[in-house]
Amino acid sequence: MTTSPRDEATGYVPSVAYTYDWYERFLERLLDDGYSPASYDEPLGDGDLVVRHDVDLSPARALDIGRIEADLGIRSTFFFLLTNPLYNPFHRPNRRVIHDLVEMGHDVGVHFSTHQYWGEDPGDGAIETRVAAERDVFGTALTDPSPAVSFHRPPEWVLSRSFDPFISTYERRFFSDVQYVGDSSQRWRESPPEVDGGPLQLLTHPGLWGTEDATFAQRVNEATEYQFERVAAFVQDEFVHDRNTIEEYDHRETPTPGRSEERSGGRRGG
């Protein structure tokens, strides 16, 4: 069940359902309360809202979230994980998602996993070199990647730390110096987001949301099943049957589980 984020009696957002509908109303409330969308290009001031998405599980759902925000006039930044075992950002259906997000006016950048390279802090130089390498590679999938980078499951040693060659979403000015509100592991169920009107960074993971509510474990299962089925079918087509069927794998044509017809039908914004 969805509870309205406008229920004044019990707080800013009394209870959270991980649905597109709830997320859309949460954003509307922030806008109504005077927040205005900002980017990582500038330091944040009171009422500035920088919206970020770490795409850990589902490019398809990133597209859904991107449409909701574009319809509300919100420009956000989507960070794709190049080292993700679950999706390949260069596979054409995923490049199309990136293209569509950019067309809607959103920014797209690298979601960087230190865990793929190091178990402990390797020092500024090593981090900057490796991040630059991933950003260069990602630059082949889109013309103008965001100057910002977000760290995946950030270790303690990247928090509140700045780097010369790129902007980190965990720099002090976007993290410890502002209000930072994130939906990681669906923690809003126990602790609904509160905002205070000051500068705000909002983080959501598109793969945790859908048309109907579902638990964190269910969302992870949905995402893996969706990806595995598509990969299995595509590999059969390409290698066993020697057929080029990539057009059929466009995320716009194959809705994610629990995704409404309206959204999958290509409701375009911005």
List residues near Zn ion by CB under 5 A. 54, 56, 152
Compare residues 13 and 158 and give the one whose CB is closer to Zn ion: 158
Could you list the beta-strand ranges (E) of the chain.
36-38, 48-55, 77-81, 107-112, 148-151, 167-168, 179-182, 200-204
Number of residue whose CB is nearest Zn ion? 152
CB of 228 to Zn ion, least distance (A): 20
CB of 262 to Zn ion, least distance (A): 28
Compare residues 171 and 183 and give the one whose CB is closer to Zn ion: 183
Compare residues 209 and 249 and give the one whose CB is closer to Zn ion: 209
CB of 198 to Zn ion, least distance (A): 25
Compare residues 31 and 181 and give the one whose CB is closer to Zn ion: 181
Q: For the stretch 151-163, what's the b/e string if a residue is b when 16 or more beta carbons lie within 10 angstroms of its beta carbon?
A: bbebeeebeebee
Compare residues 23 and 78 and give the one whose CB is closer to Zn ion: 78
Q: What is the token pair recorded at 126?
A: 């090593």
The number of helices, as runs of H, and strands, as runs of E, in the chain is: 6, 8
CA distance 30 to 33: 5
- 96 CB-contact burial (10 Å; exposed 0-12 / middle 13-18 / buried 19+): middle
Q: What is the token pair recorded at 160?
A: 């509140």
CB of 153 to Zn ion, least distance (A): 6
Q: Check: CB of residue 216 under 8 Å from CB of residue 186.
A: yes
Alpha helices, H only, 77-146: 92-103, 124-138
Other beta carbons less than 10 A from residue 229's beta carbon: 11
Compare residues 35 and 87 and give the one whose CB is closer to Zn ion: 87
Compare residues 5 and 66 and give the one whose CB is closer to Zn ion: 66
CB of 223 to Zn ion, least distance (A): 13
Residue among 256, 205, 257, 221 at smallest CA distance from 56? 205
CB of 105 to Zn ion, least distance (A): 23
CB of 184 to Zn ion, least distance (A): 8
